[in-house]
Chain A
Amino acid sequence: MKVLVPVKRVIDYNVKVRVKADGSGVDLANVKMSMNPFDEIAVEEAIRLKEAGKAEEVIAVSIGVKQSQETLRTALAMGADRAILVIATDDVHQDIEPLAVAKILKGIIDEEQPGLVLAGKQAIDNDMNATGQMLAALTGWAQGTFASELDVDGDTATVTREVDGGLQTIKVKMPAIVTVDLRLNEPRYASLPNIMKAKKKPLDEKTPADYGVDVANRLEIVGTKEPEARAAGIIVGSVDELVEKLKEAGAV
């Protein structure tokens, strides 16, 4: 079985995000970029499936600017076998929308015929949380979203999903789309031997046209704002005062 893992190059989670002056988005020029953390978890899970003998090949895919190649090299250094880079734009500020991404992934699935797609549940830049679900609709495959546990057995995958108020366990028929949540695993570091090997692994370059997909944005961003600053707290002198203040605030 092949496992396909889409990975997105996003602003590093440690970077303090700055909104662009015109409100069209956040500033990405000269900012540290990394692999979307949920995608890292997906790569890790795919490699573990391979190590457990349940997958033969792990293919990482990235769709975006040419620099996404670095993100793919990271996936290869973690242990993915080969990579596909779909250069969809040369503008670092253009975010390829989920439907276009899902359509391209559908094209890749048609060519590669993977048994499983492991994707991050969402990208930490725009938090769309849509690509996996759209891809399931386009392929007609089963989907298991927000996976915190995954067990692949023959042509069935058991997915434990983190839902509001608890965990839900479902069985899906393969091939399937599984989107992964934070608690699925702890991604490994790229080992030194794998870093050295990554450069030698195949990385194919493609364009959206290869899959007949138009990536022009359909959504218009009307504004981007910083979150409201948190109001300053106060220090109370006694428990009585604390209770009084809480009552005033209607908290007790």
Chain B
Amino acid sequence: MQFGLSEEQEMIVSTVRSFVENEIYPHEAEVERTGQVPHELGEEVKRKCIDLGFYACNFPQEVGGAGLSHLDFTLVERELGRGSMALTHFFGRPQNILMACEGEQRERYLLPAVRGERMDALAMTEPDAGSDVRGMKCQARRDGGDWVINGSKHFISGAEHADFFIVFIATGEDDTPKGPKKRITTFLVDRGTPGFDVREGYNSVSHKGYKNYILAFDNCRLPDAQVLGEVDGGFEVMNTWLYATRLTVAAFCVGRARRCFDLALEYSAERKQFGQPIGKFQGVGFQIADMITEIDAADWLTLAAAWRLDNDLPSNREIASAKLYASEMLARVTDTSLQIFGGMGLMDDFPIERFWRDARVERIWDGTSEIQRHIISRDLLRPLGA
């Protein structure tokens, strides 16, 4: 057993943390107030990230990435989690599903995405297809040699800055003993494709400036060249590449929780009531103890799951546990920290209220806590025939 980081990992952590503290923190208040990332600022973060060789560091070296292991990349995500998501979005980590690109798709999508020339966004969720992906109504039908797409997607993060979209679309239905089952295909859709529209979405309390969008397809015609992976192979593409996104949520939650905790710790040592620092009251001191215990637990759970991925060990359940526990831990840590700050915690003079709001979505996106519990329990019970 080796629990320490290597010298390289220490330096990766220290560089990313310095980057977030120096290049992201100073702009957070403005992004939060305006709900926007000014174009030049986003481009500046991106350029600095490219210069540092961190852009698309989750991609293998042969396509121009840094070839980081899952564990190294999880450390990067963890440190980025400290900063505003609207801003760290430009510390680009394209969807690794793009590794499924073949032939000329590599030149058009994969390589420009890794170089930071084109940004991507992933679209799966629909109003009637959240956790239940197979409920999707957005569909493609054959017309001549092409596909004609109709329907819509919502909650699409990163769409504002995306040059192209990776979209999961129903391409048919099979009858099974359990009832009809959708066939799903993954498409690459360029912004500006006729019949395809990107519209403003809803106003979320979480992650101001990291906006969600609606994608609308109205007889949008796509050739076969836009299919990523195999026709009807959407679930395969998803299973091969999307498992790891839950790990990035867990890593984000750990990084964010540590930043929040540090503020609460400092405040409970400085804030005096009844003639002493509030941290000296057992009621607050014990909260500090519980928080750091949970943060450390979530940290190790997350790193261990990443380590399993690197070692080709089964990790589906472990990743689900990390996502579940880290996101629920973040909810408790931000809530307790806010309680320690008292009334001031609710004011936007401190970032605590923002951390508290941001935390709420972590238990919902990339698979709700309930879905994670379902994954974990099925993983354990299915082999027993239950």
Distance in Å: Cβ of B8 to nearest Cβ of chain A:
6
Q: Is the CB of A74 within 8 A of B11?
A: yes
Q: In the complex the two chains form, what is the Cα distance from A69 to B7 in whole Å?
A: 10
Query: Which residue of chain B lies nearest to A32 when distances are taken between CB atoms in the complex?
Result: B14
Query: Which residue of chain A lies nearest to B53 when distances are taken between CB atoms in the complex?
Result: A192
Q: Chain B contact residues (Cβ within 8 angstroms of A): what range?
A: 10 to 19
The 0/1 profile, CB within 8 Å of B marked 1, for residues 185-208 of chain A is 000011111111011000000000
- List which B85-112 residues lie within 8 A (CB) of chain A: none
Does chain A have a CB within 8 A of B114? no
Q: Shortest 9 CB-CB distances between A and B: which pairs?
A: A192-B53, A195-B11, A191-B53, A193-B53, A191-B52, A189-B15, A190-B15, A192-B66, A73-B7
Q: Is the CB of A189 within 8 A of B53?
A: no
Q: In the complex the two chains form, what is the Cα distance from A192 to B66 in whole Å?
A: 8
Distance in Å: Cβ of A199 to nearest Cβ of chain B:
6
Q: In the complex the two chains form, what is the Cα distance from A69 to B15 in whole Å?
A: 17
- List which B22-69 residues lie within 8 A (CB) of chain A: 51-54, 57, 66
Q: In the complex the two chains form, what is the Cα distance from A73 to B10 in whole Å?
A: 10
Does chain A have a CB within 8 A of B216? no
Does chain A have a CB within 8 A of B193? no
Q: Is the CB of B51 within 8 A of A199?
A: no
Q: In the complex the two chains form, what is the Cα distance from A198 to B7 in whole Å?
A: 9
Q: In the complex the two chains form, what is the Cα distance from A199 to B11 in whole Å?
A: 11
Query: Which residue of chain B lies nearest to A72 when distances are taken between CB atoms in the complex?
Result: B7
Query: Which residue of chain A lies nearest to B66 when distances are taken between CB atoms in the complex?
Result: A192
- List which A115-137 residues lie within 8 A (CB) of chain B: none
Residues from chain A with a CB closer than 8 A to the CB of B11 are 73-74, 77, 190, 195, 198
Distance in Å: Cβ of B16 to nearest Cβ of chain A:
9
Q: In this complex, which of B12, B15, B19 has the most chain A Cβ atoms within 10 angstroms of its Cβ?
A: B15
Residues from chain B with a CB closer than 8 A to the CB of A190 are 11, 14-15
Residues from chain A with a CB closer than 8 A to the CB of B57 are 192
Distance in Å: Cβ of B136 to nearest Cβ of chain A:
38
Residues from chain A with a CB closer than 8 A to the CB of B8 are 195-196, 198-199
Secondary structure call for the A interface: helix
Q: In the complex the two chains form, what is the Cα distance from A74 to B18 in whole Å?
A: 13
Residues from chain A with a CB closer than 8 A to the CB of B14 are 74, 190
Residues from chain A with a CB closer than 8 A to the CB of B19 are 189
Query: Which residue of chain B lies nearest to A14 when distances are taken between CB atoms in the complex?
Result: B21
Distance in Å: Cβ of A239 to nearest Cβ of chain B:
27
Residues from chain A with a CB closer than 8 A to the CB of B10 are 70
Residues from chain A with a CB closer than 8 A to the CB of B18 are 189
Q: Is the CB of A192 within 8 A of B7?
A: no
Q: In the complex the two chains form, what is the Cα distance from A69 to B11 in whole Å?
A: 12
Q: In the complex the two chains form, what is the Cα distance from A73 to B7 in whole Å?
A: 8
Query: Which residue of chain A lies nearest to B9 when distances are taken between CB atoms in the complex?
Result: A195
Q: Is the CB of A192 within 8 A of B12?
A: yes
Q: In the complex the two chains form, what is the Cα distance from A77 to B11 in whole Å?
A: 8
Query: Which residue of chain B lies nearest to A74 when distances are taken between CB atoms in the complex?
Result: B11
Asked if A189 meets B7 with Cβ closer than 8 Å, knowing A195-B12, A195-B15, the reply is: no
Contacts A77-B15, A189-B15, A192-B52 aside, 8 further interface pairs with beta carbons under 8 A come to: A73-B11, A74-B14, A190-B14, A191-B51, A194-B53, A195-B11, A198-B11, A199-B7
Distance in Å: Cβ of B208 to nearest Cβ of chain A:
27
Residues from chain A with a CB closer than 8 A to the CB of B15 are 77, 189-192, 195
- List which A47-100 residues lie within 8 A (CB) of chain B: 69-70, 73-74, 77
Query: Which residue of chain B lies nearest to A193 when distances are taken between CB atoms in the complex?
Result: B53
Q: In the complex the two chains form, what is the Cα distance from A191 to B49 in whole Å?
A: 9
Residues from chain B with a CB closer than 8 A to the CB of A194 are 53
Distance in Å: Cβ of A47 to nearest Cβ of chain B:
14
Distance in Å: Cβ of B30 to nearest Cβ of chain A:
22
Distance in Å: Cβ of A182 to nearest Cβ of chain B:
16
Distance in Å: Cβ of A11 to nearest Cβ of chain B:
15
Residues from chain A with a CB closer than 8 A to the CB of B52 are 189, 191-192
Distance in Å: Cβ of A191 to nearest Cβ of chain B:
5
Residues from chain B with a CB closer than 8 A to the CB of A198 are 7-8, 11
Distance in Å: Cβ of A14 to nearest Cβ of chain B:
9
**11 residue pairs bridging A and B, Cβ less than 8 Å apart:** A69-B7, A189-B19, A190-B15, A191-B53, A192-B15, A195-B11, A195-B12, A195-B15, A198-B8, A198-B11, A199-B7
Q: In the complex the two chains form, what is the Cα distance from A198 to B18 in whole Å?
A: 18
Distance in Å: Cβ of A65 to nearest Cβ of chain B:
16
Residues from chain B with a CB closer than 8 A to the CB of A77 are 11, 15
Q: In this complex, which of B10, B11, B54 has the most chain A Cβ atoms within 10 angstroms of its Cβ?
A: B11
Q: Is the CB of A70 within 8 A of B51?
A: no
Q: In the complex the two chains form, what is the Cα distance from A77 to B53 in whole Å?
A: 12
Distance in Å: Cβ of A226 to nearest Cβ of chain B:
15
Distance in Å: Cβ of B192 to nearest Cβ of chain A:
33
Query: Which residue of chain A lies nearest to B54 when distances are taken between CB atoms in the complex?
Result: A192
Distance in Å: Cβ of A13 to nearest Cβ of chain B:
12
Q: In this complex, which of A73, A195, A198 has the most chain B Cβ atoms within 10 angstroms of its Cβ?
A: A195
Query: Which residue of chain B lies nearest to A197 when distances are taken between CB atoms in the complex?
Result: B8
